[in-house]
């Protein structure tokens, strides 16, 4: 199990804080006092537990660390396409075996879940004695099945954490049928959370209250004794790589003048292009094993090609990258000012290699002194009270 750093501790001069989030706690409906933390949390996830570490994992661990019993429900396969894709998947890099914190129970998808009521019964068994009035559901996928499941659990509160713009996701992410209709229902039934200021503004323009919960840093990164980056060390990227999502030509351009390493799951089309450019590929590893690898790098490259998703994409890894005390070089992102000020955007660079060299020459000048944590993020979500009567 991963060791949790002291919430008040420091690592390499970085203070853990909630300074990047609004300093007032979210209010319950009509200004009521924040609700007590739920006894149990059901996360209806859009990613599997053994996947690249995401916001879903971080919030699950933070909730469990605060004493909330967590049931992490892996994606419910919604149709024949997904089931066949799961059965066909062979070869490639094995997913990382993420460490399971105490207090988190994972519900893996099973063919049994195709039977009516089976998933609900499996969740209730894992919830044990926790009552509905003490339970929160954190929903990520706007599917009819997930919403029906959340309703049948009769929780104190359903919270919709909208971290994906489902109108823009790739087809192989299997956006749910009728997701717009389900999102409309969630907008009236659930507490609304997002990591996108653009989404929060869009909701506000329609008279909908929400809270903005930006990504934070994980304990493995805030507690690691980072060394000073060496300018001649490799530049690295960590996370999944999919063609059309990551800017592969930009990675190749950087690799022409500097060694580049990628740690994570890489699809076959991207693998061929990256290897041809001389990029070193390493398999995905659990989050606990990432800091020693990143500590060998001179900088972190986060290059995206997301088109219309640019305004709503805030990578969950962004504060982990910044906590490493290395320059974070970005492409294709429109980040909130409180994050962007600590990064080095390369979008307007006439020469990527020259821009990277300049960033390395001035390493350390834009580094944050304070880093938000997922403990803070979970506390803000947990304080959402029940909907108004």
Supply the DSSP string of 88-112, one letter for each residue. Answer: H--SSPPPP-----TTEEEE---GG
Mean pLDDT, residues 14-40 taken together: 56
User: Average per-residue pLDDT in the chain?
Assistant: 86
Asked whether the predicted pLDDT for residue 370 surpasses 70, the reply is yes
Residue 91 binned pLDDT confidence (cut-offs 50, 70, 90)? very low
pLDDT at res. 96:
73
Asked whether the predicted pLDDT for residue 83 surpasses 70, the reply is no
Mean pLDDT, residues 53-59 taken together: 96
Residue 10 binned pLDDT confidence (cut-offs 50, 70, 90)? very low
Asked whether the predicted pLDDT for residue 192 surpasses 50, the reply is yes
Statement: 220-371 belongs to CATH 3.40.50.2000 = yes
Percent of the chain exceeding pLDDT 70 equals 84
pLDDT at res. 18:
43
Mean pLDDT, residues 120-128 taken together: 94
Contact by Cβ (8 Å): 214, 279: no
Asked whether the predicted pLDDT for residue 160 surpasses 70, the reply is yes
Contact by Cβ (8 Å): 372, 217: yes
Q: Which of 68-72, 113-117, 359-363 has the lowest mean pLDDT?
A: 359-363
pLDDT at res. 78:
60
How far apart (Å, rounded) are the C-alpha atoms in residues 195 and 249? 28
Mean pLDDT, residues 162-172 taken together: 84
220-371 has the same fold as 35-216+373-382: yes
Mean pLDDT, residues 65-84 taken together: 82
Residue 121 binned pLDDT confidence (cut-offs 50, 70, 90)? very high
pLDDT at res. 11:
38
Mean pLDDT, residues 232-259 taken together: 94
pLDDT at res. 32:
55
Asked whether the predicted pLDDT for residue 73 surpasses 90, the reply is yes
Contact by Cβ (8 Å): 212, 199: no
Domain ranges of the chain: 35-216+373-382, 220-371
pLDDT at res. 174:
76
Contact by Cβ (8 Å): 228, 298: no
How far apart (Å, rounded) are the C-alpha atoms in residues 213 and 229? 30
Report domain 35-216+373-382's class: alpha beta
Residue 308 binned pLDDT confidence (cut-offs 50, 70, 90)? low
**pTM (predicted TM-score):** 0.85
DSSP state of 185: H
Residue 306 binned pLDDT confidence (cut-offs 50, 70, 90)? low
Contact by Cβ (8 Å): 63, 379: no
pLDDT at res. 81:
63
């Amino acid at each position: 199990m991963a060791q949790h750093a002291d919430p008040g501790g420091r690592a390499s001069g970085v203070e853990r804080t909630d300074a990047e989030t609004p300093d007032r706690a979210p209010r319950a409906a009509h200004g009521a006092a924040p609700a007590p933390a739920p006894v149990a949390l059901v996360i209806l996830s859009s990613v599997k537990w053994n996947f690249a570490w995401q916001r879903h994992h971080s919030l699950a661990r933070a909730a469990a660390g605060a004493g909330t019993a967590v049931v992490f429900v892996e994606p419910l396969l919604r149709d024949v396409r997904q089931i066949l894709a799961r059965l066909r998947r062979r070869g490639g890099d094995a997913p990382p075996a993420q460490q399971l914190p105490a207090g988190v129970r994972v519900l893996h998808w099973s063919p049994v879940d195709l039977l009516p009521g089976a998933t609900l019964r499996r969740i209730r068994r894992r919830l044990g004695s926790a009552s509905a009035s003490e339970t929160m559901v954190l929903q990520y996928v706007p599917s009819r099945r997930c919403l029906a499941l959340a309703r049948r659990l009769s929780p104190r509160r359903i919270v919709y954490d909208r971290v994906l713009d489902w109108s823009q996701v790739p087809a192989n992410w299997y956006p749910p049928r009728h997701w717009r209709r389900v999102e409309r229902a969630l907008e009236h039934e659930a507490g609304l959370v997002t990591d996108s200021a653009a989404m929060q503004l869009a909701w506000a323009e329609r008279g909908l209250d929400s809270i903005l919960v930006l990504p934070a840093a994980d304990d493995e990164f805030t507690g690691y004794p980072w060394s000073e980056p060496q300018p001649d060390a490799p530049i690295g990227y960590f996370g999944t790589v999919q063609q059309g999502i990551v800017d592969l030509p930009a990675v190749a351009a950087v690799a022409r003048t500097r060694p580049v390493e990628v740690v994570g799951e890489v699809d076959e089309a991207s693998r061929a292009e990256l290897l041809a450019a001389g990029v070193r590929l390493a398999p995905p590893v659990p989050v606990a094993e990432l800091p020693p690898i990143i500590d060998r790098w001179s900088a972190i490259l986060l290059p995206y090609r997301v088109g219309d998703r640019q305004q709503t994409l805030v990578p969950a890894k962004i504060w982990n990258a910044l906590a490493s005390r290395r320059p974070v070089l970005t492409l294709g992102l429109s980040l909130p000012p409180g994050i962007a000020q600590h990064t080095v955007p390369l979008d307007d660079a006439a020469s990527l290699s020259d821009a990277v060299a300049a960033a390395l020459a001035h390493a350390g000048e834009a580094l944050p002194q304070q880093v938000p944590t997922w403990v803070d993020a979970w506390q803000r979500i947990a304080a959402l009270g029940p909907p108004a009567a």
